[in-house]
Structure 1
């Protein structure tokens, strides 16, 4: 794969989001299957692996550390802080809390370093901006970690252009990560432009629309069959009302991919990569076959006409439903196409 850059790091344009090996998408794979997937990605040329302290409440970092630490010099390692496990008290179940205080950032980083079995994390994101803490204070704590040699660069996740500029004034930000795909265009409102003005790389998570653009949910029966704790269940786009409107759109999109001679996932990833050389996509998967399919998008040479048609078919105006449920909408700081 022709490499792209995130700050000083040369990375594969299609890299790997590791979350769903431990978190959010129903039943997690066995340890053996997860290890097989990570090593297959490494052997296929993936040079950027993205995890977080939140994923599996440390389980994902532990997995990545166990499997990939022997190969540490072969890839760029990204993780995140600022979303923390909140212990239950016997009456309330353990959950998560947004905590961007310097104390929590430092403690989370120490735990991440241990679990990842590394002396330094290449790119360390503030997973969510804790709006009770000035962004300058949280970024200042991350800058202290850079100076201490515990992290190399700083990233932000799901923040607005204004917040990015404030953070960058405190300490240079290397990457901004947020959801971006054919069916989620929020970054186009302001963040992509701000990244380019500041020289900040853009990392697109969920570039396959949480499986929708890969054809993983071809009908309502597939949505109804999702496990109870699957992250997609509360998302409005996957509700009965909105999915019924989005399904015909998916069918037309799938037909376009077939016409172009590629899979729906490849078309979606090719579209994301076309948005700029400063954009890197991090799809996630639990299947080696799907991994290979995803990575194949990096070598595609689709016509501008096909990519234009894909963008005109699936976009903010044609997709029904918000990308997040109400609680998650309150937690992020991104510009909102539906605000």
Structure 2
């Protein structure tokens, strides 16, 4: 196996490769499912290249991405990876439903263990926060799963700073997954500092802006009709014309630097600190090979400053998600006392 730097996520002992692999696009949301043998080969290639953190969720497919990873892990690879999956999101009639009640948490974990073909999940995230259930109740059930040896470490995804604090008071949170890239920097205001204050690792999803920093405005020319990215506000035609200026400016710097735009954007995330692990997703080995080279791109402080002067809030038009999607901005849960009283 090739060597990729190892980093520590959280204070509980989890170590992962400095770059992970997001597996969502292999099975869902980014066009039709990709051929299983090719995806298994890609996962094996990533692991042989030194990437050990594999990121999935029970909602990817739904369920089929976990099954795919389960097949890839057979034959001895399980001992060489840190396996992260998530629970809490389902879709009914196209509408997102979020669940955090204890019975659901336990049933979801048991089902994921079965699909993945493993005895224990390394990092188990609440994918989105159920605003009907106090976070203390959800984490309380996850704590039991840790004690039973079904999961090793607990994570949260798209959680507010106050939700993270409340969760961490029940059981140490090892990692928070959040969207962080040159065009999604709002987490730097409160979420990232909260994680650092509490010693929680950060896993950055969509570090390439859902492919925007790979292809720029041409991205939408090459996606299939069932690729969900066509609905994302930032990639809609009314916003893309404005947003392409950010891509062009980052591209200019990358050209001078002698790397690709996506490598520069990914390197910027890597330079946020040794407690940050970006998880770019891909379905092609050649794109994976390009992404892994971002680890070799070194940015001086003045280069970081130049990129950050370009990637300011008004450089991007459009929200991260469609209006009906839950994010950390809508993740507050009832207090335990008010919930019990009701």
TM-score normalised by structure 2 residue count: 0.91
| 1:6 CA displacement | 1.6
Structure 1, unaligned runs of 5 or more = 87-92
| Greater displacement, 57-66 / 21-30 | 21-30
- Whether contact under 8 Å (1:14, 1:280) holds in the other structure is yes
Match of 1:267 in 2: 264
| 1:32 CA displacement | 1.6
- Whether contact under 8 Å (1:61, 1:116) holds in the other structure is yes
2:281 corresponds to which of 276, 279, 284: 284
- Whether contact under 8 Å (1:179, 1:206) holds in the other structure is yes
- Count, aligned residues: 325
CA shift in 2, pair 1:19/1:303, >3 Å = same
Match of 1:90 in 2: none
Match of 2:67 in 1: 62
Structure 2, unaligned runs of 5 or more = 332-342
| 1:2 CA displacement | 1.6
- Whether contact under 8 Å (1:186, 1:335) holds in the other structure is no
Q: For residues 335 and 176 of structure 1, what CA distance do their matches in structure 2 show?
A: 16
SS of equivalent to 2:57: coil
Match of 1:81 in 2: 87
| 1:85 CA displacement | 5.0
Match of 1:14 in 2: 19
The correspondence of residues 68-217 of structure 1 with structure 2, limited to 5 A, is: 68-70=73-75, 71-86=77-92, 93=93, 96-214=96-214, 216-217=215-216
- Whether contact under 8 Å (1:123, 1:153) holds in the other structure is yes
Q: For residues 253 and 333 of structure 1, what CA distance do their matches in structure 2 show?
A: 27
2:324 corresponds to which of 324, 327, 333: 327
- Whether contact under 8 Å (1:186, 1:334) holds in the other structure is no
TM-score normalised by structure 1 residue count: 0.92
- Whether contact under 8 Å (1:184, 1:315) holds in the other structure is no
Match of 1:42 in 2: 47
SS of equivalent to 1:174: strand
SS of equivalent to 2:43: helix
Q: For residues 33 and 162 of structure 1, what CA distance do their matches in structure 2 show?
A: 42
SS of equivalent to 2:149: coil
SS of equivalent to 1:277: coil
Q: For residues 224 and 44 of structure 1, what CA distance do their matches in structure 2 show?
A: 31
Q: 2:2 matched to 1:5?
A: no
Q: For residues 304 and 335 of structure 1, what CA distance do their matches in structure 2 show?
A: 34
